[in-house]
Chains A and B, each alone.
Chain A
Amino acid sequence: MKITIENYEAYALDYLEGSLGHQEEQDFQKFLEDHPEIHAELVGLDQMILTPDPHLKYPNKKSLYRKQKRGIIPLWNSPWMVAASIALILAITAVLFFKNPATTPTDLLSEYHSSSLEDNKLPATKPMPAELPETNVMAQQGNVPGQAEHTDDGSPALTLDPQLRNGTTPRTIVAPLTDGKTSDLAQKAPISHQSTPQEEDLNTDTEDFIASEAMDIRMMEPLAMLPVSIQPLHVPASPITFQTLGQNVEEESIQFEIHIPGKFLSETWTDVSLANIKSKLLPEFLYTRNNN
């Protein structure tokens, strides 16, 4: 770059400090010969360098010192420290959780059932009769408690668990719904023999009690009130296996099986998953529809 009157100042400092290159120094000397007034400016500028006072000290240096605050461990500075902290918290939580066996999930479920069953106990203000009259045929015939049966005329029978009469165990009542004749659970079961007047009063009290209990159970246990069966039109009525084991103090879970008649429904509902329900049920539905 050619040295001119506009840019010579930048070269002048380097010339005074002796940091110009050989060619640039010759060019700058030639420029000074052409401009003697600028050459006069440079005289003595090489000595114009400020020097600090070495005796000048900062008087308040002690006020600048700082101390690191202690007591707080900055765990958030390192990702590894954060991960270690989380792992430590989880480990402590796991130890505290499994140390007490009463806090396992199974025990918590049992406690929940026990508390719910205690809430569902029969009212003590309404005592049951010592011996329940023969309001239920199945009860005297020793059938399986809680199993749905049909009476002789085909109407549904209300089966009462014998244990329920004692008021000591949870109730399980199954009320099948067929043909719209007996859709109400509170409908009374037929009496299959002649009763004396005393027995009539006793029967009335018992039936009222059963009806009120059924309503209570319907309100509290909707799962037990599921429909029993849906009769297919082209398949003759067949015995329906409908079994509810109900809630028991000793048992921890509800086993619930519904067997549906039909050749394609030999499996239980529990075996039919959502994945294969289309492949199993839809072809049969189409087949039945075409045949009809």
Chain B
Amino acid sequence: MTPTEYNKCVDEHADLLFRYCVGLTGNQADADDLVQTAFRKLWENIHDLDVKVAKSWLFRTAYRSMIDEYRKVKREREYRNMQVENTTEFQSSFEERDLVCKALEILTEEQKNLILLRDYEGYSYQELCDITGMSMPVVKTTLFRCRKKLREKLLEMNYTKYNVE
């Protein structure tokens, strides 16, 4: 990959990676750190990577960085989110996007990774197997359980979009 191709990757994938990281972390500050880390590692391995695999490599690197580093401050993050939750509970209106992000919090990192890659980026099941290293039945079973948990959480929060009753 050339520097020109790297800058082209920034143009094409930076926003997608940022949304994916926002879904993973639940806040933009941590998502910003993950994006910076992923593109820094991409630049460090620019001579070893092909531009065709750059996108999946970026998402996989961001997820692993989140697993490696973000878990270290997981307790702090949970405490911070709890403080934010206590303040927002008194707000009169909730936007749908905030509800979805809140519902994602009940998922594990592995489940969030799969559902975000599937729904946000449109990866096929086979591509998800390649990225995550899981088998096909495990990917499908995990995604099915993710959707069930999300639906239950959103129904619990009276989110009308997914209210099927």
Binding site for B on A (CB under 8 A): 7, 9-10, 12-14, 41, 43-45, 47-53, 56-61, 63-68
Contacts and interface: CB of A to CB of B under 8 A. Distances in A.
Nearest to B145: A9
A66 B41 CA distance: 13
Given A50-B120, A52-B16, A58-B14, 10 more contacts: A13-B140, A13-B147, A41-B148, A44-B162, A50-B115, A52-B23, A52-B119, A56-B15, A57-B18, A60-B35
Contacts of B145: 9
Contacts of B137: 7, 10
A13 B138 CA distance: 12
Contacts of B3: 66-68
B66 interface: no
Contacts, number: 83
B116 interface: yes
A14 B39 CA distance: 34
Given A10-B144, A47-B162, A58 B15 contact: yes
B32 interface: yes
A45 B19 contact: no
A230 to B, nearest CB: 73
Contact of A10 (B18, B23, B120, B140): B140
Contact of B10 (A47, A50, A64): A64
A194 B162 CA distance: 142
Interface of B: 2-3, 6-7, 10-11, 14-19, 22-23, 32, 35-36, 39, 43, 97, 100, 115-116, 119-120, 136-137, 140-141, 143-145, 147-148, 150-151, 161-162, 164
Contacts of B23: 50, 52
13 contacts: A10-B140, A10-B141, A44-B151, A48-B147, A50-B23, A50-B119, A50-B120, A52-B23, A53-B19, A61-B11, A61-B14, A64-B14, A67-B3
Contacts of B36: 60, 63-64
**What does DSSP make chain A's interface, helix, strand, loop or mixed?**
loop
Contact of B147 (A45, A52, A57, A58): A45
A29 B22 CA distance: 38
Contacts of B143: 13
A64 B162 contact: no
Contacts of A60: 32, 35-36
Contacts of B162: 44, 47-48
Of B11, B141, B147, the most chain A CB neighbours within 10 A belong to B147
B89 to A, nearest CB: 23
Contacts of A43: 164
A234 B155 CA distance: 126
A63 B7 CA distance: 11
Given A14-B140, A60-B36, A66-B6, A51 B148 contact: no
A14 B125 CA distance: 10
A48 B144 contact: no
Contact of A56 (B22, B136, B141): B22
Given A9-B145, A48-B150, A57 B15 contact: yes
Contact of B97 (A41, A53, A68): A53
